[in-house]
Structure 1
Amino acid sequence: MTTSPAEGRRRLPPAARREQITTAARDLALEGGLTALTLRAIAKRVGVASGLVAHYEPSMEQLTAATFRTIVSGELDEVRTLVDPAPTGLDRLARLVTTLLDPGRDAVGAVWADAWSVGRRMPELGQAARDEMDAWHAFAGEILGQLRDEGSAGAFDTDSTALELFALIDSTTAYALVGYRTPTERDTLVRRALEQALGLEIGTLALRAQNG
């Protein structure tokens, strides 16, 4: 939410002002992507002069990287709360895939896409993207390890399958950003490729998600 001019001009303790700037940066990134993060845009959202934002956040690269981390780590925490209550590894995997394919997460997908692109020119953002990808990879590996231990799928390597999963998710995220293929086609691509990699019957993940 945009801060009113009166609120922006009011003197605030440093911690409160920094939180205000952090929140504005997060909101702007979700609305317009990481490329929307400029001193002027953040200052306008907060209702202060650009110089005041620069005083608290002298490096836009650091602020962009920190904003990215806040958004995607927060999403991982949220997804965990949705996925972990499922009773089996297969149910957790089905719920994970369904959650990640939810069009309601397109704003975060756009933030990821910006991180991969802009991260070429911003080393700190590139490092943040690698770190957060590792965190998601570890989460998927945990689920796939449970699935393997339960013996409800064929033989597979958890590390490479987790890589394949996010390669599929990330590519279809990019497709969605430009409206390439329908949501159903993109979802089917991810599920079928994953089911084939795991030796599951086609349609298993969708069925589990519906029943879960």
Structure 2
Amino acid sequence: MPMSTTTQLSGGSSDGRSAIDAAARQIAFTSGLSGITLRRLAATAGVSPGDVAQHEPSMSALIARTFEVLATDELQAAAADIDRSIAAGASPLETLTMLVESLLQDTHDDYNSVWADAWSLGRHNAPLAAAARTNMEGWNDTIARVVEAGIAAGQFADVAPDLVAMQFLALIDSTTAYSLVGYRTAAERAELMRRTLEISLALPVGSL
């Protein structure tokens, strides 16, 4: 008889949990958080559905944990980029421009899609909703820090940094939703984000 193509995971092992977590992250980027199912996890990890159920009995908890890991990685990478920009002597305006450009790149689409799923699935998944709120607060603080520096340097208008940060994040989420259904072109969505921020910060057209 042919041998099984699945791998047997030892009960309760950290290796088993790690393999399932890695498979969940892969699925999240290729098929979204909603694609994380028992059968797909088993196929991706190369194990049996029973092994997945033994190591992770709650798909809701796994989805929340997967989102939290990916969202935290994304935020930490952005914060590191900002720190490097500041350390290199970039102005707050240059740093904000760098951040906008980074978030508008096609390479960031995977994270944007994961966030879109989190907003939707979080309505019925309390741990996922909590993780989304926590990461949004982290993003808000990170962006507000750049805005505060710009105000202090006289580059931005004397606005409420927290509100501008919230607006920035709302623009990202809305343009992500637009892109998922093909509403407006990528250039139009990028212009919406840039020009709205320029108006909020009293910047000349084309500053961002």
Give 1:133 deviation, angstroms. Answer: 0.8
Tell whether the 8 Å contact from 1:141 to 1:158 is kept in structure 2 after alignment.
Answer: yes
Report the aligned-residue RMSD: 1.6
| Matched-pair contact (CA < 8 Å) for 1:161–1:197 | yes
For the Cα contact (< 8 Å) 2:8–2:51, is it kept in 1?
no
Q: How many angstroms does 1:80 deviate by? A: 2.4
8 A Cα contact 1:92 1:143, kept in partner: yes
Task: Using structure 1 for the length normalisation, give the TM-score.
Answer: 0.90
- The amino acid that maps onto 1:184 is A
Aligned match of 1:142: 145
Letter in 2 for 1:5: T
Aligned to 1:69, the other structure's residue is in SS state: helix
- Alignment check: 8 A CA contact 2:9 2:47 kept: no
3-state SS in 1 of match to 2:205 = coil
Q: 2:164 aligned with 1:191, yes or no?
A: no
Q: Which residue of 2 aligns with 1:95?
A: 98
- Find the aligned partners of 1:5 and 1:184 in 2 and give their Cα distance: 46
How far did 1:11 drift?
A: 5.1
Distance 2:176 2:91 in 1: 27
For 1:11 and 1:160, the matched residues in 2 are separated by: 50
The one-letter code sitting in structure 2 at the alignment partner of 1:60 is M
Cα distance, 1:118 vs. partner? 0.7
Aligned residues between the structures:
201
Choose 73-82 or 149-158, whichever is displaced more: 73-82
Query: Tell me, which stretches of 5 or more residues in structure 1 are unaligned?
Result: 206-212
Distance (Å, rounded) in 1 between the aligned partners of 2:155 and 2:104: 23
- Aligned equivalent of 1:5: 5
Q: Corresponding residue for 1:210?
A: none
Structure 2 stretches lacking a partner, 5+ long: none
Matched-pair contact (CA < 8 Å) for 2:41–2:52:
yes
Is it true that 1:172 corresponds to 2:171 in the alignment?
A: no
In the superposition, relative to structure 1, how do residues 172 and 84 fare at CA in structure 2: closer, same or farther (>3 Å)? same
- Checking the alignment, whether the CA contact within 8 Å between 1:84 and 1:92 is kept in structure 2 is no
- Cα offset for 1:139? 0.7
Matched with 1:105 is 108
TM-score when normalising by structure 2: 0.92
1:64 correspondence with 2:63: yes
2:163 to 153, 157, 160: 160
CA deviations on 1:63-108 (whole Å, 9 max, x unpaired) are: 0000001111111122223333222211111111111111211111
Please report how far the alpha carbon of residue 13 of structure 1 lies from its aligned counterpart in structure 2 after TM superposition. Answer: 8.1
Distance change in 2, residues 1:39/1:179 (3 Å): same
Q: Distance in 2 between matches of 1:64 and 1:26?
A: 9
CA distance, structure 2, for counterparts of residue 118 and residue 179 of structure 1: 21
Indicate conservation of the 8 Å contact 2:171/2:193, yes or no.
yes
